[in-house]
Structure 1
Amino acid sequence: MKRIVIPILSLFMLGCGDEPLPKPEGFLRLEYPNAIYDKTTTPLPFTFDKNTLSEPITSVKTIGSTKGIDVKYPALKATIYLTYKTVNENNLNSLLRDAQNLTQKHTMKADEIFSNLFENKEENVYGMFYEIGGDAASQSQFYVTDSLKHFVSGSLYFYAKPNYDSIYPASEYLKKDIKRIMESVRWKE
């Protein structure tokens, strides 16, 4: 009798339990260092504060009347592309419209686009910051101008196919850098 009871009890005791379930898909928890900013001087007619996590700016690209610099973040696999154009008496409305249209091109993939007005009267810097939610190619864009001589626009791009959930931590970190760039722009005269 013991030969039958012990194996049956063992089966009941070992066989009872929760069925194994696969773990849900998740993403790595990414943490970034606190930002440390240094004033950056460029050959362009403006300066700004740049995160020391980014690479030094080494060159200026020129295409027609547009000049550009790249603020690269290799650890985050991202770049903030900054472009500079000179404002003249006829082109300010066109520059503003182009910057706004660039953001609106992302509406096909974006879940939402938030805009925040920026104004620094003491330094004569005015602009707009756009936060783009969803799987759009660019998560943040902005422009700043003095409305008389200078116009700077910027866009954040990652070196990966857009997946909002996975790039969200890096996007939030770089959004703070973009806002710092906007706040710290100073025009060279």
Structure 2
Amino acid sequence: MKRLALPLLSLLMLSCGNDPLPKPKGYLRLEYPNASYEKVIVPLPFSFEKNKLAKPISTVQTAGSTNGIDIKYPALKATIYLTYKEVKNGNLDSLLRDAQNLTQKHTIKADEISYKDFESKENKVYGMLYEIGGDAASQSQFYVTDSTKHFLSGSLYFYAKPNYDSIYPASEYLKKDIKHIMESVHWKE
């Protein structure tokens, strides 16, 4: 018995070491490539530049005419939907109100909605960018217009249940693309 007790006691003494330490929390690190842009010519009265990371755009037709563009980002599971409408018969106020109301519909789930004015006098492009924080369905929305003939609105949607913490990195990356779209819009005369 003594022969067995001494090795067991030694084993117990040696096996006791430092107290275990919890592992630090790990965070997902998402890195996206630097954006590289290319000009897009569409069958609408404007052109713009899109990120090369996006798939080739697809146009949306209603009533036989093209009035929308979908810019898909499969790697980010997101799409930027663009809708073009002609300004005519004094409908600019109505178009602006519709764009603003669409953004306001997200207040139910949004933690905050901030906006930034956009103006490019040399290209005759004026607009607004809305950034929506929280678990809203769309994280960014915008519109640009020349105030006389053209009106373009856009929305960013992800193909997943909105969880702000999870989609935040992709949302921030795509907000830069949206800003670039706004900056690169050129109206065709």
| TM-score, normalisation: structure 1 | 0.91
Q: How far apart, CA to CA, are the structure 2 residues paired with 1:27 and 1:63?
A: 48
Q: Aligned runs of 1:1-189 on 2, under 5 Å?
A: 3-19=4-20, 21=22, 24=25, 27-62=27-62, 67-189=67-189
| Runs of 4+ deviating beyond 6 Å | none
Deviation at 1:169, TM superposition (A): 1.0
Q: Which amino acid aligns with 2:12?
A: L
> Deviations for 1:59-99, whole angstroms, at most 9, x for unmatched residues?
33226988111001111110000000000132111110110
Identity among equivalent pairs (%): 70
> Deviations for 1:142-170, whole angstroms, at most 9, x for unmatched residues?
00001100000000000011111111111
Q: Name the SS of the counterpart of 1:133 in structure 2.
A: strand
Q: Which amino acid aligns with 2:45?
A: P
Q: Name the SS of the counterpart of 2:136 in structure 1.
A: coil
8 Å CA contact retained: 2:58, 2:71: no
Deviation at 1:6, TM superposition (A): 4.2
Deviation at 1:14, TM superposition (A): 1.7
Q: Unaligned stretches of 5+ in structure 2?
A: none
CA RMSD in angstroms, aligned pairs only: 2.1
Q: How far apart, CA to CA, are the structure 2 residues paired with 1:67 and 1:87?
A: 13
Q: Unaligned stretches of 5+ in structure 1?
A: none
Q: How far apart, CA to CA, are the structure 2 residues paired with 1:129 and 1:40?
A: 21
Which segment is superposed worse, 70-79 or 1-10?
1-10
Q: Which amino acid aligns with 2:85?
A: K
